[in-house]
Each structure stands twice: as structure tokens, then as C-alpha cells.
Structure 1
Amino acid sequence: MTTVGFIGLGIMGGPMAVNLAEAGFDVVGFDVVPPRNDLLTRAGGRIAGSVAEAVRKADVVVTMVRDSADVETVALGEQGILAHARPGLLYIDMSSISPTTSRDVAAEAELLGVRALDAPVSGGESGAIEGSLSIMVGGDAEDFQAALPVLEVVGATVVHVGPHGAGQTVKAANQLIVAGTIELVAEAIVFLEAYEVDTDAAVRVLAGGLAGNRILDRKAAGMLARTFEPGFRIDLHHKDMGIVTTAARDAGVVIPLGSAVAQLIAALKAQGDGGLDHSALLKLVEQLSGRSTVRPGS
């Protein structure tokens, strides 16, 4: 039985670790927030008292943490993964972080005989629960093949996209598209409501035509109801838009629409809405339009 150390058992990591445990892997989880451990223990996983304990006997280690700084601490710190990894360990970072950080971690791992992959995901909480995530993987092709038995449990679309850092670059592009699409769906909904259109019917017909997209499929109902329970928080998308705008600037690529949406997300965060789902961009469109955000049942 392959032992998987899984570090980060939050909204995304928790259900991913559960899926691995239910698939027969020996999963040893760790999170700095103890209540998050319960989901994994109910699925038959074990809980470690530290990163070091989760790593020592693991064949594979997966991290799903908040940002680049967290990955640096967890992977490179004195009590981190590389300090306690056995040679040959396969380390899969599934967080969404800077491509530069992924490359730096991979370089340090190589010096210690640890195989590293950056494998960020898309699909939100529902995809994590269903095991239907889209996973974009950067690193050596041979290591990618070795990781497939783990990755195919948590994802439905698993693609090797290039060398170290490539997974994070593709994830940045994903977040650019998602943010822009949510903003346009939000604008369309406010526009439709201003003309008292049957918005449920409008969303159905839009989803069936060329305007159809996964945001309409997965987010529109909650946007219409003004329920912004987080599947993916504004705080996290704000972080991701920082990654993509910085990476685009470094590459000399102009992203005018993406930069505008990044500012709108930043405005929501500044207003104290960072804990809401990123579909709460609708709330800001309403405010800018001078329309009420209060709806029955909201």
C-alpha cells in the first residue's frame, strides 16, 4: 500500500485526501487547524502531529496550502518536507503559487534526490469532493507517470503541460479566464435584471448557446440567489490574480481585461468581502450600478 502524506486539509485538500483514503491509499494527513482532521479520520486516514511526522515514512507527499510563502515554509523549512524526506520521495505540490517558487522548490528537491511536481488544480470544492478536478502538471515526464495513480484519484483531467513551473503557469491562465468569465456573467445578470427579464430562463438559454460556459453552469444559480458561500474565496482569487499579473508583466505580456478584473477583485477584498465566493463579483457590479444588493432570501 502506498503511503501518502497529505499536508493541508482545508476546503480543497480535505476532500482530496478523503478520496485517496477511500481509494485504498494509506493517507497520513496534517493541518495546522485541528478540526479539519475529522473528515479524513472518518474516511480511515491517519493524522500526524507535524509535517515531519507526515513525511518520514511517506512514498508520496502532497501539499495543498494557501500561497507561495506557505509552500516555502512547508517544503523548505527546518521542519519541512525536504528536511525529512527519504531519497526518491515523490513530492506533488497542488497549491496555486508562483511558477518561480515551484521552480525553486524543484531545484532544492533535486539536490536531495526528491522528485518534485507542481500540479495545481481547477474545479473548486465540488470538483475536489467529486474527484473531478482538472490538474495541470509541471515537471519531468517520468515523474508525472509515477504520480498518475495518485492524481487520477482526485482528478478527471490530468495533463502534463511542461517542465517545472509549467503547471503553475497554466493555472495562472486558468484563473485569468475564470475571473474574467465570472465578471462578464455578473455584468450580464445585472443587465438582465435591470430590464426585468426572467433571469432563470435567460441563464438557461444563454448556457445552451455560444455564450455557454462552466460559470453559467455552476455559479449562475447562486449568483441569482445572492448566495456567496465560498467554493473558492475572493481572498484566494485575489492572490491568484497577483500571480498572473506579475507573471504577465515579467513576460512582457499585456492583459488589459485581466488587470481590470484583478482590480475589481482587489476592491471586494478591501471592502471586507474576501471570505465570499468569487462569484460575489456580482455584488460589486450591483454597487457600481447603484442597484440594491438585498434580495429575498439572501
Structure 2
Amino acid sequence: MSTIAFIGLGIMGSPMAVNLVRAGHRVVGYNRTPDRAKDLVAAGGVAAESIADAVAGADVVAIMVPDSPDVQAVLTGEDGVFGHAEPGTLIVDFSSIRPDVTVRLAEQAHGQGLRLLDAPVSGGEPGAVNGTLSIMVGGAAEDFDAAAAVFAAVGKTIVHVGPSGSGQTVKAANQLIVAGNIELLAEAIVFLEAYGVDTAAAVRVLGGGLAGSAVLDQKAQKMLDRSFAPGFRIALHHKDLGIVTAAAREAGVVTPLGGLVAQLMASARANGDGGLDHSGLLKGVERLSGRNLN
């Protein structure tokens, strides 16, 4: 089993690190807020006081932080991975960031004798807790093979999708599809409620037909209950849709529905909903419909 440094122990990173411990790996975790390491330590992992301490002697460095600048800081900062990891170390970035940033960081890593995979995930907090994440991986095929045991501990659907940056590109497409599905589900629920339909029954029958989806299965009940504790925050999905919008523009691709849902996500964030689960887009539909917010 490997010695793994895990940087970023938030909603997703903490359960992923715990699952790596349960799979038999030695895991040394670091988070800017030290209290976030408590679940890892309780599972048998170790808390480090700095990134440099975490990566010392690590075979693999895993990263799960919010955005491109955060990944850049973790890798290239004064206390960063590039300055302290041993040559040959495999870096697996589970974060969702801009594809062009990933490509540049992978080139920089290679120049320093390190290996970097971009491996963003889908499945939200339930997938992280249950070890059933979908992982889309960009980078060298031999590095993908070398990371097999790490991926197996945290994911279920694990696919190598191409060279560096490809994982981030596929994740951007994933976030586009998910955002559109969540918005349409929210609109459907507000529509059903306006007609006094038994929404729980409606969701059940919709889930058995062509309208059924993982989004409906995981997010409909949160909408019905108006329970928006974050599994994946609107602020992060707003960031991801910014990546989609910029990348589509660079590629000369038109995403009209994607542009609309990006604006709706931005509106939710501007209205103070950024800390809510992205199923909280329901509140935006209610606002636009002039209905009472619960």
C-alpha cells in the first residue's frame, strides 16, 4: 500500500481520505483549517501541520481544493508540493479547475521530475462517503495505471479520457449537464406545486420514466423538503460554469442553454445562496415565479 499525502479535507476530501485509510493506505492529511482533519485522524490517518510535512516521503499526493488558484498555490507556493515532493512522486488532482491551468501545471511538474494527473470527480458528498465517485482522468496512460489502487479506494466509474487537461474538460461537460438537469427539476417541482399535485408521488413516477436521472434521485427530495445543506455548493457550481463558458468560447462552441443556466446560477449566488447545495436553484425559480420562499 502507498503513503498518500491528501491536501484539502473539505466536504469531499475528508471522506475520500478516510476511504483511502480504510483501503489500507497510510494517509497524511493537511487542511488550512486543522479541525477538518479530525475524521481522518479518527479513521487512523495522520494530520500534518503543513503541505511540506504532508508530502515528505509520500508516494502519491492527492489534492482536493476548490479552484484553479488554490491548486496553483498548493503546487507552486513556497510551502508547495513542487518544492518538497520527491522526484517521481505521482500527483493526483481531484479538484475541478480550468483545463488550460491543468496543462500548464502538468508541464511544470514534468519539468521537475514529477507526474501529474487531473482526476476531477462527480457524485457529490454521497459518492465521496460511499467510495462510488465517477472519476474522469487526464494524463499519461502509465500514470493512470500507477494510480489504480488510489482510484479504486474512492471511485466506482474510473475512466482515462485522454492527455493532461482532458479530465477537466470532461468534468466541465459534466457540470453543464448537471446544472441543466437541476434547474429543470426545480422548475418542474415549482410547476407541480402550483397545481397542488402530490409532488412526492409525481417525483416517484417521473423517476421511473425517461425523466429519471441521478439528479432526480439525489436532489428531488432536498427540493421537496427545502433542505439545502451543501453536498455541492452553488458557489462551486457557479465557478464550474464559468470554466464551461470560457472554454466553450475558446473552442468556438455555442452553449445557449448552458449560458442561461450559468446566469441563473450566478443569480442564486448574488442573492446569497452561494453556500447552499446546488439543489437550492429551486429558490431562484420561486423568486422568478413570485412565490413564497420557505
1:116 maps to what in 2? 116
**1:122 & 1:225 partners in 2: Cα distance?**
23
2:174 maps to what in 1? 174
1:213 maps to what in 2? 213
Cα distance, 1:113 vs structure 2: 1.1
1:83 maps to what in 2? 83
* Deviating 4+ runs (over 3 angstroms): none
The answer to whether the aligner puts 1:56 opposite 2:52 as a matched pair is no
Amino acid at match of 1:126: P
Matches within 5 A, 1:29-68: 29-68=29-68
The answer to whether the aligner puts 1:145 opposite 2:145 as a matched pair is yes
Amino acid at match of 2:14: G
**2:98 & 2:152 partners in 1: Cα distance?**
24
1:98 maps to what in 2? 98
Amino acid at match of 2:272: G
**1:140 & 1:78 partners in 2: Cα distance?**
27
**2:198 & 2:88 partners in 1: Cα distance?**
58
2:232 maps to what in 1? 232
Cα distance, 1:35 vs structure 2: 1.0
**2:188 & 2:52 partners in 1: Cα distance?**
49
Amino acid at match of 1:208: G
Cα distance, 1:31 vs structure 2: 0.2
Amino acid at match of 2:260: A
1:186 maps to what in 2? 186
Deviations along 1:193-241, whole A, 9 cap, x unmatched? Answer: 1111111110011000011111110110110111111000011001000
- Return 5+ residue gaps in structure 1 as ranges: none
**2:110 & 2:120 partners in 1: Cα distance?**
20
SS state at 1:159 partner: strand
Superposition TM-score, scaled by structure 2 size: 0.99
**2:240 & 2:156 partners in 1: Cα distance?**
23
**2:77 & 2:253 partners in 1: Cα distance?**
33
SS state at 2:290 partner: coil
Cα distance, 1:272 vs structure 2: 1.0
1:161 maps to what in 2? 161
Cα distance, 1:85 vs structure 2: 1.1
Deviations along 1:277-296, whole A, 9 cap, x unmatched? Answer: 000111100110111122xx
SS state at 2:272 partner: coil
2:128 maps to what in 1? 128
Cα distance, 1:77 vs structure 2: 1.5
Deviations along 1:234-253, whole A, 9 cap, x unmatched? Answer: 11001000001000000000
**2:153 & 2:226 partners in 1: Cα distance?**
33
The answer to whether the aligner puts 1:267 opposite 2:263 as a matched pair is no
Q: CA RMSD in A?
A: 0.6
Amino acid at match of 1:200: A
Amino acid at match of 1:254: V
Amino acid at match of 2:293: T
Matches within 5 A, 1:4-19: 4-19=4-19
Cα distance, 1:78 vs structure 2: 2.1
1:285 maps to what in 2? 285
SS state at 1:61 partner: strand
SS state at 1:249 partner: helix
